[in-house]
Structure 1
Amino acid sequence: MTSIPATKAAISALKIEQRVERDVKAGIPELDRRNHTESEESMRSYVVREIIGRVHENRQRELDKELADRSAVDIRQLHQEMKNTESLVEKSTAGRLANLVSGLKQRAQEYAALRMDLEMFRQRNGLTREAVYRESKLLHYALIFFIVIMETVLNAFFLSKGSDLGLVGGFFQAFIISMINLGFAVFLAFSLRHCFHQNPLRKIGAGTLFLGVLVTAIVFVLGVGHYREALEANPFTASQVAMTTLQAQPLGIQDFNSWIMVVVSGIALVLLAAKFFVVDDRYPGYTAITRRVKQQQRMWREAHEDAIESVNEMAEDIQESISETEKTIRAQFIQFKASIERSEEIHRHYHEDIIKAQGLLDELVRYYQSYSARMMNRRSAYFGELLRFELDKLPQLNTTGLAQHKRDLATFEEVMDALDQSYSEALGVVNRRCESMQASLAALVDTLELDHGLRRA
């Protein structure tokens, strides 16, 4: 901000000494003068125009900025919005409640339809019991993996002795055998489960498939034993020899290690088949539809819980918005009040600047008179009053709006007195609306469950 310069700086800027020298050469000031010289008058003009003018411009810019900041305050609107919380909450919650109701109705219909499919499945297949199965398949797959790995490791030990690649070759051969056993186990469990089907034709077909797969699996396991026995004699002809001896004497394995391989593969096959069979209900298809029904039941419960949680989140968001509005009102009031005080301070400082400028002008005139007296080698003849500012001609600060804002401040103080009560009432409205929505959703859930037969009355 432009401030009142020091006397020496003003003397230098005005070039008073050069003015005095020029005036003295022209015979000015006269010995018996009673008026100020043109140079002295120009000092007043300079101070008014260059110093006070610039100070006025900067002070006015500060006042205009404060006015603009105060004009941007919307305390009345914000407080009115807080008082109208009930209508605002109704508008914002109406659509949300409609969406939640629609979603719950759809979930209830889907759940009821799937329950109907389950009941029809039970009636068609003569089932009066609940499905028996393992809820988690993680342990199921972990045990299968463990059985396959154990069978692979044990068989790899026996097959590595006759393999060209040693333990690595034996491991790959053993792994392929384990995968084939795994496939047999899947088909055995599948066919055995269909043996419990109500349809006689499906029972016969499943029994036939089970016996066929079982015989094939036994032959394969014995073939592995014959291959192991022939592998030690001659690895290059082991496959042909194993097939020949298997056809001639299926149980004619002479090597003890080969029998151990047969037993290990047989036990693994039985364990895998049993594991695949017991993981689901023995009646085919019963587990799948039961799982879908339970999954839909979980989704129905989660939909209800999510609806309640959605209402809580919505209430928290609205309450947070109200809280932010309350903080904004308080912050704007503090800023508004401080801005008025700053505007009054700026106005006061401007009058102080005028007084300082008058003092500077007095110093400049005194310096001119004393310097001219020294130049003329005599005392200055003029000892009258120094130059004074014509106050009515000085630029005045425009304080438009300040008086109105002072009246607004009194209104805002009344708003601040009522703000705590308005804030509490707004939060109460939100809480009551939230509780009302939750009660409506709970009643809707009860109605939907009774109407769709999801629970007994």
Structure 2
Amino acid sequence: MTSIPATKAAITALKIEQRVERDVKAGIPEVDRRNHTDSEESMRSYVVREIIGRVHENRQGELDKELADRSDVDIRQLYQEMKNTESLVEKSVAARLANLVSGIKQRAQEYSALRMDLEMFRERNGLTREAVYRESKLLHFSIVFFIVILETVLNAFFLSKGSALGLVGGFFQAFIISMINLGFAAFLAFSLRHCFHLNALRKIGAGVLFGAVLLASGVFVLGVGHYREALEADPFTASQVAMSTLQAQPMGIQDFNSWIMVVVSGIALVLLTAKFFVVDDRYPGYTSVTRRVKSQHAAWRDAHEDAIDSVNQMAEEMQDGISDTEKTIRAQFIQFKASIERSEEIHRHYHEDIIKAQGLLDELVRYYQSYSARMMNRRSAYFGELLRFELEKLPRLNTTGLEQHKQDLATFEQVMDELDHTYTGAIDVVNRRCETIQAALSELVDKLELDHGLRRG
């Protein structure tokens, strides 16, 4: 910011000594003068134009900046929004509530439809009990994996002795055998489950399939034993020899280790079949329809809980918004009040600058008079009053808007007195409205459950 310069700096800038020397050569000032010289008058013009003018420009810039900052304050609008919280809440809630209600109704319809499918399934198949099955599929697959790996490891030990690749070759052969056993077990469990079907034709078909698969799996297990026995004699002809001896003498295995392989594969087959059978209800299809109903029931329950959570989240968001608005109002009020005080301080400093500029002008005139007296080797003849600024001609600061903002400050102070009460009222409005919505959602859930037969009244 441009300020009032020191006297020596002003003397140098005005070149007063050169002026005096020029005036003295021209016979100025006169001995008995009573008026100021042109040089003295030019000092006043210089101070007004160059010094006070620049100070005025900078002070006015500061005032304009403060005015612009105060004009950006929107305390009235923010406060009015807080007072109109109820209407704003209604606008925000309307769309959200419609979506929640629509989602809950859709879930209720889907759940009701699946329950109806389950009841129709029970009615068609004469079922009066609940489905019995294992909830955890992960545990089921873990046990199946363990059985397959255990069978593979045990059989790999026996097959490795006759394999050209040793233990690695025996392991891969054993793994293939285990996977075939796994397929047989799945078909056995499938066919066995359909033996409990209400339809007689399906029972007969399932029984025939079960017998065929059981026979095939038994032949395969015996074939594994024959292959193990032939493998030790000649690995290259083991397959042909095993098929021949299996056809001629299915039970004619002579090697003890081969019988152990047959027993291991048979036990694995039985365990896998039992595991596949007990993982689901013994009645075919009962587990899948029951799982769908339970899954939809969980989705229905989650839909209600999610709706309540959504309302709570919405309430928190609106409360956070109200809290932010309240903080913004307080911050803007503090800035607004401080800006007015700074504007008044700038105005006061400008008047102080004028007084300092007058003092500078006095010093410049005195220096001019004293220097000219020394140059003329006589006492200064001029003892009249020093130059004074014509105050009415000095540039004035434009304080447009400051008085209006002072009036606004009084209004804002009243707003601040009422802010705590308004803030509390706005929070209460949000809480009451959200509690009302939650109660309405609970009533809707009860009504939907009764209308769709999801529970008894």
Shorter-normalised TM-score: what interval? Answer: over 0.9
**TM-score normalised by L of structure 2:** 0.98
Structure-1 residue corresponding to 2:425: 425
Q: Which residue of 2 aligns with 1:365?
A: 365
**1:282 to partner: Cα distance:** 0.5
d(CA) in 2 for partners of 1:260, 1:371: 133
Question: What does 1:234-313 correspond to in 2, within 5 Å?
Answer: 234-313=234-313
User: Which amino acid letter does the alignment assign opposite residue 75 of structure 2?
Assistant: I
Q: TM-score, normalised on structure 1? A: 0.98
Question: Which letter maps to 1:335?
Answer: Q
Residues 342-363 of structure 1: per-residue CA shift (max 9 Å, x gap): 1110000000111111111112
* TM-aligned CA deviation for residue 84 of structure 1: 1.4
Residue 225 in 1 paired to residue 225 in 2?
yes
The answer to which of 373-382 and 61-70 deviates more is: 373-382
Q: What SS does the corresponding residue of 1:437 show, helix, strand or coil?
A: helix
How much does 1:148 deviate? 0.8
Unaligned runs of 5+ in 1: none
Once the two structures are superposed, the pairs formed by residues 323-402 of structure 1 within 5 Å of their partners are: 323-402=323-402
SS for the counterpart of 2:449 is: helix
**CA deviation string 1:378-418 (max 9, x = no partner):** 33222222211111110011111111211111111111111
What is the rounded CA distance, in whole Å, between the counterparts of 2:31 and 2:256 in structure 1? 148
The within-5 A match list for 1:66-105 is 66-105=66-105
SS of equivalent to 1:399: coil
Q: Say what the alpha-carbon RMSD is for the aligned residues.
A: 1.1
Give percent identity, aligned residues only. Answer: 86
Q: Which letter maps to 1:73?
A: V
- List gaps (5 residues or longer) in structure 2: none
- Name the residue aligned to 1:177: 177
The one-letter code sitting in structure 1 at the alignment partner of 2:228 is R
Structure 1 partner of 2:2: 2
> Aligned residues, how many?
457
Q: CA deviation at 1:3?
A: 0.9
Kindly provide the CA deviation profile for residues 237-273 of structure 1, in whole angstroms up to 9, marking residues without a partner as x: 1111111111111111111111111111111111111
CA deviation string 1:69-118 (max 9, x = no partner) = 11222222222221111111122212221221111111111111110011
Match of 2:439 in 1: 439
TM-superposed deviation, 1:370: 2.2
Secondary structure at 1:40 match in 2:
helix
Superposed displacement of residue 64, structure 1: 1.1
1:33 Cα offset (Å): 2.0
Distance 1:277 1:144 in 2: 12
Q: Distance in 2 between matches of 1:128 and 1:376?
A: 135
Letter in 2 for 1:117: D
Deviations 1:23-79 (A, max 9, x none): 222222222222211111111111111111111011111111111211222222222
2:118 equivalent in structure 1:
118
Letter in 2 for 1:46: Y
Partner in structure 2 of residue 205 of structure 1: 205
1:146 matched residue in structure 2: 146
Does the alignment pair 1:414 with 2:392? Answer: no
Deviation at 1:290, TM superposition (A): 0.4
> What is the distance in 2 between the residues matched to 1:17 and 1:165?
117
Give the partner amino acid of 1:304. Answer: H
Q: How many Å apart are 1:19 and its aligned residue? A: 1.8
Residue aligned with 1:236, SS: coil
